[in-house]
Structure 1
Amino acid sequence: MASTTALADARIDPRHPFAAHLGHVAGLGEHRPWTPDDGPLPALYLSHGAPPLFEDAAWMRDLAAWARALPRPRAVLIVSAHWESDSLGITSTVPTELVYDFGGFDPMYARMRYDTPESSDLARQLLAVLPETAHVHEHRGRGLDHGAWVPLKVMYPEADVPVLQLSLPTHDTATLLALGERLRPLREQGVLVVGSGFMTHGLPYLTREMLGGAVPGWSADFDAWAADALARGDVEELARFRLRAPGLRYAHPTVEHFTPLFVTLGVATDPAAGVTTAIDGFFIGLARRSFQVA
């Protein structure tokens, strides 16, 4: 019997780029599942995109190839820029409605489904690695927001991997690095930990030229600064981004799309070891740099 996700996908216009992407992924065959013999999974920071990601064939191919280069995880724990909170929260362990937190796009995107399996086992794994004093509230009425389900739908379109979203409780870099360190043991259990943001996110400063492919200096300069620090494993430089990063005022007028990066770095076995870049380049002038850490 077809899943609710597959039934919704079947109604997509076959001429749409995402329909072609579904066919491409189906043609890749079975995705080998993670086993303990694979060792710890890496952790990811990805520039997630909004619904226009579903219209970018090359970007979708890159994300799918990245996912296929790794074993299929047993579960995904994702921290998205689009859920900030004063304390830690998780989405419902029982799949519920997605959060369609966007507007101005084709109505088809608000009809998409991503109904992943029940995730109570992942919730228990998460609580086991957090301090006993940590209070993590399960938001039973909250599903995945677009910072989670849009890229995951591209990477794992069959929606067969349990997913929990963890809220972003602060923008303090030391606290986020420490949170990531707490999450590190999950990698050894086949859990893919993901920080989801966007390497530059100056939406208020988009111009007609950027929509046509131009890359403004503030976006290119911030991306180059981050790429250099990430390659060198200079966590201290990155943590001082408010003082050190060029073009910050325009690249991140608010910082929630950058700070999930520190959760990812904290999950690394050695945050100072440098990263492996999986995707770079620009989308409407914004840097979509995405990477993994071991």
Structure 2
Amino acid sequence: MTDLAMPALYLSHGAPPLVDDELWVSQLARWSADLPRPTAILVVSAHWESAPLTIGSVTTGTPLVYDFGGFDRKYYQVTYRSPGAPELAQQVAALMPDNEPVVHQPDRGLDHGAYVPLTVMYPNADIPVLQISMPTLDPERLLHLGERLRPLREQGVLIVGSGFATHGLPFLRDWTPNATAPGWSADFDAWAAERIAAADVDALIDFRAKAPGMPYAHPTIEHFAPLFVTLGASSEPGQVPQQVIDGFWMGLAKRSLQVA
């Protein structure tokens, strides 16, 4: 590992009101303060599924993607004018296999899975940010994607898989921030914490069949899937991730981790 080397993160990114939660904001801010300063940030978000792999805007000032509804108007006025990352985009494309096409979508800005946590972790918006699509929901293929992206960490690139450790929105009954976690959310989160602590990637891959609380914890799996990009980007097979944030928000698990 070089002096520039960055970890890879899996963030439970939260909805736009995350920025109003003092505890969560303090946890994210403290986490980023403990990290080396990235040369750039590469985000794979639950909110952008597109195959083949697609590279978003590489220029400053592309509008954000307000991919949510029903919130206060102030959340649609948020800006995050981070520098573009054209060189990083070229590197990502070069790391992909020759037989897998890469598409560019220059008008695609950062979605809330990318910019909401970044407004807390890097509020000055002075680090280049690039978002790429999640080209599959297959955990093993996402592990391989993380492996391909791994060399970027040696150049100081912070790789972020952005999702939510549980995301059973249709089954929530209490939408207040301090709501008690439903059994399916608590059970899934406890299982995930145990399997992550054991570096049991095989069990995590098979979470749909093995994890308690399914399918309620993830009626669709796009919010757990970015975890596998992060795990694939780990520098050592079998490495135990550091679980940096735990607890619940609106009953959903906000467990977040990093791998060196």
Same fold (TM over 0.5): yes
The gaps in structure 2 that reach 5 residues or longer are none
Please state how far the C-alpha of 1:209 moved relative to its aligned partner. 7.5
For residues 118-146 of structure 1, give each alpha carbon's deviation from its aligned partner in whole angstroms, at most 9, with x where no partner exists.
21011122123222333221111110000
Cα distance 1:264–1:37, how it changes in 2: closer, same or farther (>3 A)? closer
Q: Which residue, out of 68, 77, 88, partners 2:53?
A: 88
Alignment-derived partner of residue 20 in structure 1: none
Report the alpha carbon displacement of residue 37 of structure 1 after superposing the two structures with TM.
5.2
Aligned residues: 259
Match of 1:132 among 85, 94, 98: 98
Indicate how the Cα distance of structure 1 residues 127 and 86 shifts in structure 2: closer, same or farther if over 3 A, else same. closer
Question: 2:16 aligns to what?
Answer: 51
1:183 to 142, 146, 149: 149
Partner Cα separation in structure 1 for residue 84 and residue 173 of structure 2: 42
Contact 2:199 2:240 in 1 (8 A): yes
Match of 1:261 in 2: 227
Q: Which of the pair has the greater relative contact order for Cα pairs under 8 Å at 6+ separation?
A: 2
In the other structure, the counterpart of 1:200 is: 166
Q: Distance in 2 between matches of 1:138 and 1:178?
A: 21
Give 1:271 deviation, angstroms: 3.9
What pairs with 1:89-108 in structure 2 (closer than 5 Å)? Answer: 89-95=54-60, 96-108=62-74
Deviations 1:7-61 (A, max 9, x none): xxxxxxxxxxxxxxxxxxxxxxxxxxxxx85242110000000111011011011
Specify which of 243, 248, 251 is matched with residue 277 of structure 1.
243
Distance 1:123 1:212 in 2: 39
User: Larger radius of gyration, structure 1 or 2?
Assistant: 1
Runs of 4+ in 1 over 3 A off after TM superposition: 209-212
Aligned partners of 1:210 and 1:220: how far apart in 2? Answer: 16
Q: Secondary structure at the match of 2:87?
A: helix
- Which of the pair is proportionally richer in helix? 1
SS of corresponding position for 1:38 = coil
Kindly report which structure 2 residues correspond to 1:32-71, keeping only aligned pairs within 5 A, or say none: 38-71=3-36
Offset, 1:210: 6.3
Asked if the contact 2:163/2:226 (under 8 Å) is kept, the reply is yes
Aligned counterparts of 2:247 and 2:34: Cα–Cα separation in 1: 20
2:196, 2:171 → 1: CA distance?
25
Greater Cα offset, 96-105 or 122-131? 122-131
**1:48 and 1:263 mapped to 2: Cα distance?**
15
Distance 1:68 1:212, change over 3 A: closer
Q: C-alpha displacement at 1:212, in angstroms?
A: 5.0
Contact 2:208/2:215 (8 A) holds in 1: no
Q: TM-score, normalised by structure 2?
A: 0.96
Percent identity for Structure 1 against Structure 2: 59
Unaligned runs of 5+ in 1: 1-35
What TM-score, normalized to structure 1? 0.85
Output the CA distance in 2 between the equivalents of 1:254 and 1:181.
24
